[in-house]
Amino acid sequence: MREVLYTINHQHAGKRLDIFLSEHTIHLTRSQIKKLINENLVQVNTVPARPSQRVKKGDVVAVHLQEPRKAEIEAENIPLDSIYEDEHIVVVNKPAGMVVHPAVGNYSGTLVNALLFHCSFLSGVGGVLRPGIVHRLDKGTSGVLVVAKNDSAHQSLSLQFKNRSVRKVYSALVYGKMEKDEGTIAQNIGRHFSDRKRMSTTTRKGRAAVTHWKVIAHCDSLSLLEVSIQTGRTHQIRVHFSSLNHPVVGDAVYSRKRAGLLIQNELLAKKIDSLKRPFLHARVLGFYHPHDNSYREFTAPLPHELQDIVSIIEKAQC
């Protein structure tokens, strides 16, 4: 166990304990915090806490976190496309098809399994199943992802994501011709009311989500976009464009369209119909380095299966 201590000041006095912890640098969800409290792993002034407990000025909150190396997650010799690495962080180009961290049904072959083999230590703030993981990309999404090697780096990066100071730029190909050259989608996102594996913009318990987009090229019934997200909700880009009836090409969850029925260019239609992943790639990630606070920006080129499609679009001169 590793202990993290917080001292309550006047600004946070009177808040519920679980809300206070969720608002601070521990990279845990409210449900994970409640679980820790219920397991007596959170104490206030050395006394086991309650989730609804209100904190007072001067209270000392102790959170006991398990070290990630004690988890039954095996290190696996899986190749990693490392973009940058130092003693604080590692930046990787995640391939499509790789899950970021272990969960039910995916306890091997994940990015975490690969990282545990390649790195001597990872931050433990994210818990035993998510060592070093500050943010995620969907399984089918490729591109730049930063991982924390120590708790200080993890807390700094988590705060930047929370404060929305991280630059996140994606390349996306969507069905249909966008009505404008650029725009912003500001629609709340939450769990779908009947399918818990999907997200929706029509849920009553959605959270704020903002997506900015710009058209790079049009071809047949397709739009190649540069997308930047101000927030980082689950499936955000995929859900937002699906809500506009411009679903991401290759997305089996939020789109049922087939290129062959929409696109006149036979080679382009064939390439898209054979795509086994969404055309969504995290191309740029920019943040302030946790150690020296210098702004760093990292890029990942389009994977060949996506670049092949872009090359056809460029040659077609639509």
Would the pLDDT of 315 be above 90?
A: no
* Per-residue pLDDT at 70: 46
Domain closes at, from 98, 129, 162 = 162
Task: Specify the pTM.
Answer: 0.77
Structural domain harbouring 76: 69-162
The DSSP secondary structure of 159-174, one letter per residue, reads: HHHHTT-SEEEEEEEE
Average pLDDT value for the chain? 90
- CATH number at 255 reads 3.30.2350.10
Active-site positions read 138
Q: Scanning the structure block, which residue is given the tokens 């969404």?
A: 278
Whether 33 and 135 map to the same domain: the answer is no
- CA–chain centroid gap for 217, Å, is 26
Taking residues 20-35, report their average pLDDT: 76
Residues in contact with 307: Cβ distance below 8 Å, sequence separation at least 6, in sequence order: 301
Percent of the chain with pLDDT over 90: 68
Q: Are residues 296 and 177 in the same domain?
A: yes
For position 6, which CATH number holds?
3.10.290.10
DSSP secondary structure of 19-41: HHHHTSS----HHHHHHHHHTT-
Of the three residues 65, 83, 111, the one that is the final residue of a domain is 65
| Whether residue 61 is found in the same domain as residue 111 | no
Please give the tally of structural domains in the chain. Answer: 3
Give me the helices (H) in the chain, please: 17-22, 30-38, 111-118, 151-162, 236-243, 266-273, 304-316
- With cut-offs at 50, 70 and 90, classify the pLDDT of residue 312: very high
pLDDT confidence of residue 160: 96
Q: Using CA atoms, how far apart are residues 235 and 160, in angstroms rounded to an integer?
A: 20
Structure tokens at 115: 């990282």
Q: For residues 17 and 138, state if they share a domain.
A: no
151 lies in the same domain as 174: no
107 and 38 belong to one structural domain:
no
Using the 3D structure, point to which of 105, 135, 162 is the last residue of a domain: 162
Domain co-membership, 111 together with 19 = no
Is the pLDDT at 74 greater than 80? The verdict is yes
More confident site: 252 or 51 = 252
92 and 148 within one domain: yes
Do 131 and 252 lie in a common domain? no
Lowest mean pLDDT among 54-58, 217-221, 279-283, 289-293: 217-221
Give the closest residue to 22 by CA, choosing from 36, 1, 3: 36
Name the more confident of 228 and 261. 228
119 with 33, same domain: the answer is no
Q: Are residues 141 and 231 in the same domain?
A: no
Would you say how long the chain is, in residues? 318
**CA-wise closest residue to 121 among 99, 98, 97, 154:** 154
Q: How far apart are CA 218 and CA 8, in angstroms?
A: 54
pLDDT single digits (tens) 76-96: 999 999 999 999 999 999 999
* Whether residue 13 is found in the same domain as residue 128: no
Query: What is the C-alpha to C-alpha distance for residues 27 and 153, in angstroms, rounded to an integer?
Result: 12
pLDDT value at residue 106: 72
Q: What is the pLDDT of residues 128-166, one digit of tens each?
A: 678 899 999 999 999 999 999 999 999 999 999 999 999
